[in-house]
Structure 1
Amino acid sequence: MSAASEKGRIWRLAGAYVWQQALRWMHGGPLYRLSPQTGSPARLLIAPQDLRTADQTNAADIYGGNFLFSGHLVETRGASPFELEGEDLDWQRDLHGFGWLRDLRAADNRISRQNSRALVDDWLKHCGRWHPVGWEASVTTRRVMSWLAHSPFILEDGDHEFYNRFLRSISRQVRYLRRTINETHDGVERLQASIAIAAACISMSGQGRFARQSIRRLDQELKRQILTDGGHVSRNPWAMIEILADLLPVRQAFVVQGLELPEAMLQSVDRMMPMMRFFRHGDGALAHFNGMGSTPNDLVATIMAYDDARGAPPLNVPHTGYQRLGGGASVVIMDTGKPPPLSVGVDAHAGCLSFEFSSGLHRIVVNCGVSGRSNEMWRRVSRSTAAHSTAVVEDTSSCRFLNEKPFGRWLGTPIVSGPNTVLVQRDDDDAMGVRVAASHDGYKAQFGLIHTRDMRLSADGTVLDGIDSLSEDARGTERGEEYAIRFHLHPSIKASMLHSGTAVLLMCRDGEAWEFDAPGSELVLEESIYLSDVYGHRKTMQIALYGRIRESQSAAWQFRRTATAKLGRRASSEFDDLMQTGNLPFDEPDFEDDIDLDGSDTELDAVVKSED
Structure 2
Amino acid sequence: MALAAGSTTRLWTLVAREFWRKTRRRLRAGPIYRWRYSGRTPERVLIAPPDLRLADPQIALEIYYGRYPLSGHMVETGGKSPFQIDVPNRGWQKSLHGFRWLRHMRAAGTDLAAANARALVSDWIAMHSNQIAGVAWEPGTTAKRVIAWLQHSSVVLQGAEFPFYRAFLKSLAMQIRYLRSMAREMPDGKDRLRARIALAFAALSLPAAPSTLRSATRNLAEELDHQILPDGGHISRNPISVLELLADLLPLRQTYANQAETPPPALINAIDRMLPALRFFRHQDGSLARFNGMGATIHDRIATILRHDDTVGSPLLHAPHSGYERLSMGGVTVIADTGPPPPVDVSNAAHAGCLAFELSSGRQHFIVNAGIDTYGDAEFRPLARATAAHSTATINDTSSARFSHSLRVSDLLGSPLIGGPQHVPCTRIDQKGVHGFVARHDGYAARFGLLHERELTLTDNGNLLAGRDRFQRPGGGALRDNGRDFVTVRFHIHPDISLLQDEHDRLTLAAAQGDSWTFTCAEVLPQIEESIYFAGLGGPRRSRQIVLAFKASEIAEVHWQLTRTDIAGRLENN
Say yes or no: TM over 0.5.
yes
2:531 aligned with 1:558, yes or no?
Answer: no
Quick check: 2:37–2:174 contact (8 Å CA) kept in 1?
A: no
Tell me the alpha carbon deviations over residues 253-292 of structure 1, each in whole angstroms, 9 at most, x when there is no partner: 0011111110100100000111111111111111111111
Tell me which of 481, 502, 514 is aligned to 1:498. 502
What are the within-5 Å matches in structure 2 for residues 110-509 of structure 1?
Answer: 110-130=111-131, 131-431=133-433, 433-473=434-474, 480-500=484-504, 502-509=505-512
Distance across 2 between alignment mates of 1:304 and 1:149: 20
Gaps of 5+ in 2: none
The aligned counterpart of 1:520 is 523
Distance across 2 between alignment mates of 1:86 and 1:288: 30
**Aligned amino acid, residue 24 of structure 1:** R
Quick check: 1:522–1:547 contact (8 Å CA) kept in 2?
A: no
SS at match of 2:564: strand
Quick check: 2:361–2:515 contact (8 Å CA) kept in 1?
A: no
Deviates more, 1:465-474 or 1:451-460: 465-474
**Closer, same or farther: CA 2–86 of 1 in aligned 2, 3 Å:** closer
Tell me the alpha carbon deviations over residues 47-67 of structure 1, each in whole angstroms, 9 at most, x when there is no partner: 111111112112222112222
Quick check: 1:371–1:531 contact (8 Å CA) kept in 2?
A: yes
2:110 aligned with 1:98, yes or no?
Answer: no
Distance across 2 between alignment mates of 1:339 and 1:299: 27
Q: Shift in Å at residue 93 of structure 1?
A: 1.1
Quick check: 2:376–2:539 contact (8 Å CA) kept in 1?
A: no
**Aligned amino acid, residue 534 of structure 1:** L
Quick check: 1:105–1:113 contact (8 Å CA) kept in 2?
A: yes
TM-score by length of structure 2 reads 0.95
Q: Shift in Å at residue 68 of structure 1?
A: 2.7
Deviates more, 1:63-72 or 1:410-419: 63-72
Distance across 2 between alignment mates of 1:197 and 1:391: 45
Quick check: 1:274–1:312 contact (8 Å CA) kept in 2?
A: no
**Aligned amino acid, residue 21 of structure 1:** K
SS at match of 2:140: helix
Distance across 2 between alignment mates of 1:306 and 1:118: 34
**Closer, same or farther: CA 138–376 of 1 in aligned 2, 3 Å:** same
Deviates more, 1:551-560 or 1:204-213: 204-213
Quick check: 1:489–1:542 contact (8 Å CA) kept in 2?
A: yes
**Aligned amino acid, residue 522 of structure 1:** L
Q: Shift in Å at residue 398 of structure 1?
A: 0.2
Quick check: 2:368–2:390 contact (8 Å CA) kept in 1?
A: yes
Deviates more, 1:216-225 or 1:488-497: 488-497
Deviates more, 1:491-500 or 1:296-305: 491-500
Quick check: 1:225–1:232 contact (8 Å CA) kept in 2?
A: yes
Gaps of 5+ in 1: 572-612
Distance across 1 between alignment mates of 2:208 and 2:394: 58
Distance across 2 between alignment mates of 1:338 and 1:87: 35
Tell me which of 533, 538, 543 is aligned to 2:541. 538
The aligned counterpart of 1:76 is 77
2:33 aligned with 1:29, yes or no?
Answer: no
Distance across 1 between alignment mates of 2:430 and 2:73: 50
Quick check: 2:362–2:515 contact (8 Å CA) kept in 1?
A: no
Q: Shift in Å at residue 86 of structure 1?
A: 5.0
Alignment coverage as a number of residue pairs: 565
Quick check: 2:236–2:350 contact (8 Å CA) kept in 1?
A: yes
Tell me the alpha carbon deviations over residues 545-566 of structure 1, each in whole angstroms, 9 at most, x when there is no partner: 1111222122110001111213
**Aligned amino acid, residue 66 of structure 1:** R
The aligned counterpart of 1:609 is none
Quick check: 1:42–1:206 contact (8 Å CA) kept in 2?
A: no
**Aligned amino acid, residue 558 of structure 1:** Q
TM-score by length of structure 1 reads 0.89
**Closer, same or farther: CA 511–121 of 1 in aligned 2, 3 Å:** closer
Quick check: 2:405–2:415 contact (8 Å CA) kept in 1?
A: yes
Q: Shift in Å at residue 183 of structure 1?
A: 1.9
Quick check: 1:33–1:129 contact (8 Å CA) kept in 2?
A: no
Distance across 2 between alignment mates of 1:22 and 1:238: 30
SS at match of 1:52: coil
Q: Shift in Å at residue 382 of structure 1?
A: 1.0
Quick check: 2:37–2:177 contact (8 Å CA) kept in 1?
A: no
Tell me the alpha carbon deviations over residues 153-179 of structure 1, each in whole angstroms, 9 at most, x when there is no partner: 111111122111111111111111110
Distance across 2 between alignment mates of 1:543 and 1:2: 31
